[in-house]
Amino acid sequence: MARRHHNGLKTVGLFAALWAVLLALGAVVAGMTRSPSYLWLFAGLGLVGTFVSYWRSDTIAVRAMHAFPVSEAEAPTLHRIVRELAQRARQPMPRLYVSPTATPNAFATGRNPRNAVVCCTTGILELLDERELRGVLAHELMHVYNRDILTSSVAAAMAGVLTSVAQFFLFFGGGRDRGGNPVAAIGMLLMALLAPIAATLIRLAISRTREFDADEDGAELSGDPLALADALRRIHDGVQARPLRPEGDLVNVAPMMIANPFRGGAVAHLFATHPPMSQRIARLEAMAMR
């Protein structure tokens, strides 16, 4: 199913911005330490982190949610819906997991369609009817088919490199300013503080724009935009009633979920991994009227 939001171009631009921040930080570090070795070190760590995040994204996510695989005998409706959608998309059947979590949510992960996982919480299975669940599962399958997992894994790993470099030199770089240049010291401090923020904003921008794509493409796959709109509305209310706590690996899994699983104030909304639910619902309702 074709995308209509030019996300390939957006992603290239966002990754270019990430590398620009990394190189700017590296230039400050190189000037302070008079050695480029640290930049190469953290770049290497970034490549390793990217590979691990991409190759083992399914394992990391299901462990964070304490999820377990379910057979067709254990979850016949779930298997039937996903099989029908996968056949309609002419794609492989993913493995299915269930997380014993009361918060209604779902996510997909895996390095490609042949090694994909779709996971639903017990909360969402209890909350939604079959029509709404079909809309949610179509959304998650389109994340896999659109190769969003690769993009989010690389973006998260690169953002982690920027954060690590900035924090390392924030605490240990000051003592290496042998020239005693206060301007250089201020520049390093600003980069150390701003690089993680820039990396986070870029990563969240990637996540947000791809949610719109998965909503639209998933609605096309299921043939029922209003089913996903109704599901998103009920999921949003359910998360507000039973939010997850932003702890440990759950913070890294949150961008994969169909809805932000955390509750927060204005600052939390600024760094939210998903577009406002009202915008997503409005777009789906408009799609149904075409």
Where in the sequence numbering do the catalytic residues fall?
Answer: 140
What's the DSSP call for residue 245? Answer: P
Cβ proximity of 237 and 170 under 8 Å: no
- The candidate with the shortest Cα–Cα distance to 214, out of 225, 201, 199, 203, is 225
Which residues on neighbouring strands pair with residue 110, listed in sequence order?
116
Helix (H) or strand (E) holding 68: strand 68-69
Residue 177 is which amino acid? D
Which residues on neighbouring strands pair with residue 257, listed in sequence order?
107
Task: Write phi, then psi, for 144 (nearest 5 degrees).
Answer: -70, -50
Three-state SS letters, 79-141: HHHHHHHHHHHCCCCCEEEEECCCCCCEEEEECCHHHEEEEEEHHHHHHCCHHHHHHHHHHHH
Residue burial 207-222, b: 16+ Cβ < 10 Å; e: rest: bbbbbbbbbbbbbbbb
Cα–Cα separations (whole angstroms), residue 263 to 233, 238, 240, 260, 273:
15, 11, 6, 8, 12
Which residues on neighbouring strands pair with residue 258, listed in sequence order?
none
Cβ-proximal residues to 169 (8 Å cutoff; 6+ apart), any chain:
29, 32, 38, 188, 192
